[in-house]
Amino acid sequence: MIRVLLAILGLWLSCIYGAAMAETRIPAERLLEFSKTVLAAAGADQDSTEATSYALLHASLHGVDTHGFRLLPFYADCLRTGLVKGAPQIRVNLQRRAAVVVDADGGFGHLPSYRAMDEACALARDCGIGMACVINSTHFGAAGAYALAAANAGFIGFVTCNSGAFVIPHGGIRPMHGTSPIALAAPRPDGNPFLLDMATSSFAWNRVLRFRSEGRTLPDGVAIDAEGRFTRDPHAARALAPLGGIDFGFKGAALAGLADVLGGALTGMRLSIEQDGLALGDTKLGHFVMAIDPTTFIAQAMFGERMATYLDSFAGEPATMPAGGPEWIARRDRESNGIPVPDGVRGELEELARSCGTSLPV
């Protein structure tokens, strides 16, 4: 566990200094193959290697760099220390006509989450809606990867999970929730899907650390100090506020509660308060996914027209875009010009490559 915590610390430091340092652009397909090579060398089987690498690719392509290829050293360490099983026996159990449970068997969360969404979509084709709980899982990366998989198959996809308590409830002092993501994607036949992938905290802890390094003050209402007082001093910050900040944090706290209900209570796995808020290396985690077939309620052509009208309406409002807009901009850039790898992260990946008997591609 010490090695895991050190790996997390290294990732945080990379986040702090990455933006200020030079970066290298590496083609996405080369990073994908590199990921497969190092995960296999660390002990992951082919299915786990493929699913985890594609989830990392999703995050890095769409600008969610905290959940992208920078996590490779941490994931390799999880395999080598035995925290995560490299060859889990994934099991799918049909609970009722439209619901399944996917047992991750202590492996990475990516493979069972993709499998859960595949199962949910298959159920939705028959029942109109499909749901799946993932149990006995670990970190699953960016929630949007699995919601987008549903949208790409023609379904509305919903995904959530809880995470280690590092966020206070509204008006509280003790962290009770995580940054617990909520993701939803909806297909558009002639363009990019609607894609919501958000944390339920008001700020990212990585940004707090970056503000420390840059000598900047925090925005109002995003973090608290050891006494539970809101602070703008990043060095005094000890926990995050929920989405909505000082005045409206009850909304973010309620959304984080939704993630705990569906990702923790419904799955029978650990609640946020039972996880380590400072690390990603928790086991016995739960995730919840759902797929909805739009044609259950509306003709496919009509749904597509309604989605297009909604998404296109943002074009008339300068400097605005719907959920997913920044992700599609990042993807276009990174598919054409490569994924940016800050020097700090590059150094970690090069060290990882050496330990696996390979080299980082350029």
Residues 6+ apart with CB under 8 A from 90: 47, 102, 103, 104, 105, 107, 111, 112, 115
**Both 121 and 171 in a single domain?**
yes
Q: How far apart are CA 105 and CA 240, in angstroms?
A: 32
The letter for the amino acid at 110 is H
pLDDT value of position 291:
98
Question: What is the pLDDT averaged over residues 87-93?
Answer: 98
In a domain, 65, yes or no: yes
**Both 112 and 178 in a single domain?**
yes
Give the pair of three-digit tokens for residue 329: 């901009």
Average pLDDT across the chain, whole number: 91
In a domain, 183, yes or no: yes
In a domain, 9, yes or no: yes
> In the beta sheet, which residues pair with residue 194?
186
Q: How far apart are CA 184 and CA 66, in angstroms?
A: 19
**Both 159 and 112 in a single domain?**
yes
In a domain, 343, yes or no: yes
pLDDT value of position 344:
87
**Both 30 and 171 in a single domain?**
no
Which of these, 223, 221, 291, 289, lies nearest to 259 by C-alpha position? Answer: 289
Identify the domain containing residue 24 by its residue range: 2-84+338-355
In a domain, 275, yes or no: yes
Residue 346's pLDDT band (cuts 50, 70, 90): very high
The pLDDT > 70 percentage for the chain reads 94
**Both 48 and 186 in a single domain?**
no
What are the CA-CA distances from residue 149 to residues 40, 49, 53, 187, 356 (Å)?
24, 18, 15, 10, 31
pLDDT value of position 277:
79
**Both 78 and 118 in a single domain?**
no
Q: Is the predicted pLDDT of residue 18 greater than 60, yes or no?
A: no
Per the structure, how many domains does the chain have? 2
Q: Is the predicted pLDDT of residue 4 greater than 50, yes or no?
A: no
Segment 291-338, tens digit of pLDDT? 999 999 999 999 999 999 999 999 888 788 999 999 999 999 999 999
Please provide the DSSP assignment of 285-330 as one string: EEEEEEEE-GGGTS-HHHHHHHHHHHHHGGGGSTT---TTHHHHHH
Q: Is the predicted pLDDT of residue 9 greater than 60, yes or no?
A: no
Exposure string for 48-65, b = 16+ CB within 10 A, e = fewer: bbbbbbbbbbbbbbbbbb
**Cα radius of gyration rounded to whole Å, the chain:** 20
**Both 253 and 133 in a single domain?**
yes
What are the CA-CA distances from residue 326 to residues 155, 185, 269, 294 (Å)?
22, 14, 33, 25
Segment 56-85, tens digit of pLDDT? 999 999 999 989 999 999 999 999 999 999
In a domain, 208, yes or no: no
Q: Which residue has the higher pLDDT, 340 or 318?
A: 340
Q: How far apart are CA 283 and CA 279, in angstroms?
A: 11
**Both 125 and 253 in a single domain?**
yes
In a domain, 62, yes or no: yes
Residue 280's pLDDT band (cuts 50, 70, 90): confident
pLDDT value of position 171:
86
Segment 156-211, tens digit of pLDDT? 999 999 999 999 999 888 999 999 999 999 999 889 999 999 999 998 887 887 78
Q: CATH number, domain at 116?
A: 3.30.1370.60
Q: CATH number, domain at 6?
A: 1.10.1530.10
Residue 212's pLDDT band (cuts 50, 70, 90): confident
pLDDT value of position 67:
92
Q: Is the predicted pLDDT of residue 93 greater than 60, yes or no?
A: yes
Residue 114's pLDDT band (cuts 50, 70, 90): very high
* CA–CA–CA angle 52, 53, 54 (5° rounding): 95
Give the pair of three-digit tokens for residue 283: 């086991």
Which of these, 206, 160, 209, lies nearest to 66 by C-alpha position? Answer: 206
Global confidence as pTM: 0.91
pLDDT value of position 7:
44
**Both 144 and 165 in a single domain?**
yes
pLDDT value of position 353:
96
pLDDT value of position 206:
73
**Both 53 and 98 in a single domain?**
no
pLDDT value of position 317:
83
**Both 74 and 188 in a single domain?**
no
In a domain, 327, yes or no: no
Residue 17's pLDDT band (cuts 50, 70, 90): very low
**Both 105 and 249 in a single domain?**
yes
pLDDT value of position 20:
45
> In the beta sheet, which residues pair with residue 185?
157, 195
